[in-house]
Chains A and B, each alone.
Chain A
Amino acid sequence: MNRVILTFHSTHDAIATERVLAEHAIVFQVLPTPVEISADCGIALMVGVPEGKRCLSLLSDYHMSIGFTAAQEAGYNLEILGSFVDC
């Protein structure tokens, strides 16, 4: 299943984003930031692709540094498909 992983420069940005997503009833999964994506903040959030697009517009008002990465949950493994947006 295709997914979008949101990564952050700071833990506080990650937690602030969790609150925004919860307020907008966007379902997400907290996971450790996969090392192949980023060595920044250790907390990443994973959402579905449509939700990822929604996050992009929602979070643009918050002036946070957020990375968006495409991934695939294949069986019990997370396969990173590559970063497609970095804002």
Chain B
Amino acid sequence: MNTIIDATGKACPIPFMLAKKQIDAGQSSFTVLVDNRAAVENLKRLAASQDYDTTVDEDNSNFHVHFQGKKEVVKPEGMLEASAPARRVVYISRDTMGFGAEELGKNLLRMFLYTLSQDTELPESIVMLNSGISLATKDQQTIKTLQVLSDRGVEILVCGTCLDYYGLLDKLAVGSVCTMYDIEQRLLRADTVISP
């Protein structure tokens, strides 16, 4: 029988945590009931990162997020890990690159992102937090560069707690709002974390 978890009225990380608990317990099919779109987006991201498919049914202002584990894919022998691309995560925790002159540090970071946006090899995700969120909210140059990276398939994640703290939730110009669970997962699963 499909397990239904009622997470309506629960604050931000709770629906995520309840779903994660089901996944960790090996539950291949379950439904989480939530009452806001932000929670739906968080659950969808969780599902994608854990190899689950999701379907969402909307009913008045409630959302039923159905999780369905993907079937094990049988890989031919000898083709296991070698062909998997390295998971690279760029972790940006401040609005400058290096310590010292601020105006120089800001330019170095803009230059780093611009170069990255033109590279043939790309990271899987870019995670921004603390003053690093200004790159996705205030700086028109880095917003443009991050948009190019996003268009090229790089996941752009911006810390929701930080957006809230700095009063920039409505200024997010590129990427999606994420929780510390998303950040922890990206960092933990990465083969390489690049912190410019």
Contact = CB atoms under 8 A, between A and B. Distances in A.
Interface of A: 11, 14-15, 18, 27-32, 42-43, 76-78
Contacts of B50: none
Given A76-B148, A76-B152, A30 B104 contact: no
Interface of B: 103-104, 107, 110-111, 114-115, 117-118, 140-141, 144-145, 148, 152
Given A11-B104, A15-B103, A30 B111 contact: yes
Given A31-B114, A76-B118, A15 B107 contact: yes
A11 B141 CA distance: 18
Most B CB within 10 A of own CB, among A14, A28, A29, A78:
A29
Nearest to B145: A29
A28 B145 CA distance: 12
Given A76-B148, A76-B152, A31 B115 contact: yes
Nearest to B107: A30
Contacts of B152: 76
Contacts of B141: 28-30
B114 A32 contact: yes
Nearest to A15: B103
Contacts of B111: 30-32, 42-43
Contacts of B140: 27
Contact of A29 (B103, B104, B114): B114
Given A76-B148, A76-B152, A30 B114 contact: yes
Contacts of A28: 141
14 contacts: A15-B103, A18-B103, A18-B107, A27-B140, A28-B141, A29-B144, A30-B107, A30-B141, A31-B110, A31-B114, A76-B117, A76-B148, A76-B152, A78-B118
A76 B115 CA distance: 10
A11 B106 CA distance: 13
A30 to B, nearest CB: 4
B174 to A, nearest CB: 15
A43 B144 contact: no
A70 B76 CA distance: 51
A15 B111 CA distance: 13
B116 to A, nearest CB: 11
Contact of B107 (A43, A76, A77, A78): A43
A33 to B, nearest CB: 9
Contacts of A76: 117-118, 148, 152
